[in-house]
Amino acid sequence: MSTLRLSEIWIYPVKSLSGIRVQEAVVMDKGLKFDRRWMLVDEHNRFLTQREHPQMALFQVSLHDQQLHILHRSNNAAIEFPAFATTGTEYKATIWDDEVTTLEPSPEVSAWFSDQLNMNCRLVYFPEPNSRPVDERYATNHEHVSLADAYPFLVIGQASLDDLNTRLNSPIPMKRFRPNFVFTGGKPYEEDHWKDFSIGEVNFTGVKNCARCVLTTVDPETGLKGKEPLATLSTYRNQGNKILFGQNVVARSIGTVRVNDSVTVNPA
């Protein structure tokens, strides 16, 4: 059996904007530190994503000294604001079927995003103590999640992407799938079957294969939609009318994970 190693760690501070590849990250109850604690909402306080607004891919996000820096790659407009918020105007925001309590700390920052997207929107923050339970059908210990779609973490094997890319006319990068953890070694799609596993000293449980949507068809470099990889995945990864790629995960302990950590899968 080949050795499994953590090869990539990704955080996405603002939901549906670009991710940041990091060398280490703190595992918290709701997800990695800084991961999806912010999101853009429309004038009805409903979340915005690249599914309907693929141009959101053009916002480049970086993190320096507890500050988030956002660059709009089409016009080089930029803004910076703290990575955390403790005060602001409270809004009930909707993400999928969940209603969460959020803060808008800066109307000025919201106005900047509104100008860039040419639509009225707000940038809101989800404070750590606020509630958003994971679906009880898949939770293992009443876990909560940040502003990720449904689960705190997503893991994908590099071998799974390599296998997919052999089937595509043009290979695609892992960032299309917005994972938190990528590992090397093992067989394609073996993460489908993971239950209890560890990365370094931190313990996790795989709870549900990840159903993929049209967001994966948005080119993160151009913000343009295509048909791949869903068209190809649908030919061999379709189960119950859902196209599966990657495993949704909850944490059973907290701590720090680092690139090159060993990944150990416990026997079922």
pLDDT tens across 117-154, in order?
999 999 999 999 999 999 999 999 999 999 999 999 99
The correct CATH number of 5-265 out of 2.40.33.20, 3.30.1330.10, 2.60.40.2470, 3.50.50.60 is: 2.40.33.20
pLDDT of residue 251: 98
Quote the pTM value. Answer: 0.97
Prior bond of 133 cis (ω within 30°): no
Where do the domains of the chain lie?
5-265
Q: Taking the CA atoms of the chain, what radius of gyration do you get in angstroms?
A: 18
Task: Tell me the CA distances in angstroms from 93 to 22, 81, 121, 151, 169, one per residue in order.
Answer: 29, 21, 12, 18, 40
Question: 24 in helix, strand or coil?
Answer: strand
If one counts every other C-beta atom within 10 angstroms of the C-beta of residue 205, the result is 21
Name the helix (H) or strand (E) containing 40.
strand 38-42
Asked whether the beta carbons of 199 and 257 are under 8 A apart, the reply is yes
pLDDT of residue 1: 58
pLDDT of residue 268: 73
Distance CA 36, CA 31 (A): 8
pLDDT of residue 27: 98
Low-confidence ranges of the chain (pLDDT < 50): none
Encoded amino acid at 24, one letter: E
Retrieve residue 100's tokens. 């969460």
Q: Residues 260, 82, 34, 96: what is their CA dihedral angle, to the nearest 10 degrees?
A: -150
